[in-house]
Amino acid sequence: MNALPPLIFACPRCRASLVQAAPDALFCPQDKSTYKKVDQIWRMLLPERESVYSQFIQDYETIRRAEGRGSQEAAYYRALPYHDLSGKMSADWRIRGASFDMFLKKVIAPEKHSLRILDLGAGNGWLSNRLARRGHSVAAVDLMTNDFDGLGCWRFYDAKFTSTQAEYDHLPFVHGIADLVIYNASLHYSVNIRETLAESLRVLSATGKLVVLDSPVYRKAGSGAQMVKERESQFANRFGFPSNALHSENYFTYSKLNELAAALGLKWQFLTPFYGFRWALRPLVAKLRGSREPARFHVLVGIRDSLQRETISQEPR
């Protein structure tokens, strides 16, 4: 069975283990709250937190619809990340596909047994589907529950995984349940990355791995800040709003990553996929034009410091 059983769930407020109250309902004996499964999605977003994310969710879905994301055809979702059958976001998916290949080769392939995996920022579930098809038990976690780009897309897959609406800082899982926690092009949306990573370490097993896919990294914080300004301006011009309702951190710097590693007892391994020659030349082109540095993307693999003696949390050359 690939879907994580309900007993692994914990109350997102008090973290007490939940008990089965009905086939589609879980109950917290400690704070007397009930969490239900609606349309095959466990609704684990705390009621008092819904207002925090309501504008962000509205803005995000407006942009994704305008970009032409999603489809009503299962083939579209099952082809991701290698083929964008809509042809609308092909360049983005080429990057995602290269990152995914590196992740499979360096993180998944060496494992000889089935893993318990949390896919954080699962979106339409393409990654959860790919991993579930390989025999792993996967929970797809996201704020979005729509059926074109969110958790509601579970209906387009034949692989079974557990769809869960929740926020990163209040994960509804018991301590140490996961062998692998993946931030799927999503960690930069956190408003406090240190707190978010600390919560992921709570649910990660002692020997588990933390993986960050497709989040932008810069050498200079000023470059990241400029990127944010440019993006907000583009969104305001195109959609009529800057899409900054959630005060996300938006990017990393290498120094920030090393600070996080020191604070949380982590070691980072930087794996850098090859995204093509044009992508590789971007830093040189930007320098010649006097533009800000372009973002870099890595497959970041974090392990607890106690598991490895050699320091690997250094900026890649």
Q: What is the pLDDT of residues 252-269, one digit of tens each?
A: 999 999 999 999 999 999
DSSP string, 19-32: EEEETTEEE-TTT-
- d(CA 143, CA 56) in angstroms, rounded, equals 10
Helix axes of 193-203 and 254-264: crossing angle, nearest 10 degrees: 50
Give the closest residue to 121 by CA, choosing from 69, 167, 152, 83: 167
Residue 288 burial by CB count (10 A; 0-12/13-18/19+): exposed, middle or buried?
A: exposed
The count of other CB atoms within 10 Å of the CB of residue 4 is 22
Q: Output the CA torsion sign for 1, 3, 171, 217.
A: positive
Q: How far is CA 133 from CA 3, 114, 136, 230, in A?
A: 11, 11, 7, 39
307 has pLDDT over 90? no
Q: Any residues with CB less than 8 A from the CB of 204 and at least 6 apart, and which?
A: 176, 178, 179, 181, 210
Average confidence (pLDDT) over 98-119: 96
pLDDT in tens, 76-105: 999 999 999 999 999 999 999 999 999 999
Lowest-pLDDT range of 131-145, 167-181, 295-309: 295-309
1 has pLDDT over 50? no
Give the closest residue to 121 by CA, choosing from 16, 6, 211, 17: 211
Give the closest residue to 45 by CA, choosing from 77, 13, 71: 13
Phi, psi of 21 (to 5 degrees): -100, -25
Q: How far is CA 256 from CA 98, 170, 209, 246, 274, in A?
A: 25, 23, 19, 20, 24
Tokens encoding 48: 């008092």
Contact 28, 16 (CB under 8 A): yes
pLDDT of residue 311: 40
Average confidence (pLDDT) over 205-234: 97
What residue ranges define each of the domains in the chain, with the CATH number in brackets?
A: 6-307 (3.40.50.150)
Cα(first)–Cα(last) distance of the chain, in Å?
43
Contact 213, 242 (CB under 8 A): no
Only one residue has tokens 């710097």, namely 253
47 has pLDDT over 50? yes
pLDDT of residue 134: 96
State the pLDDT confidence band at 8, using cuts at 50, 70 and 90: confident
Helix axes of 50-66 and 221-239: crossing angle, nearest 10 degrees: 70
Tokens encoding 251: 């990017």
pLDDT of residue 308: 54
126-161 burial, b at 16+ Cβ within 10 Å, e below that, comes to bbbbbbbbbebbbbbbbbbbbbbbbbbbbebbebbb
- d(CA 287, CA 285) in angstroms, rounded, equals 5
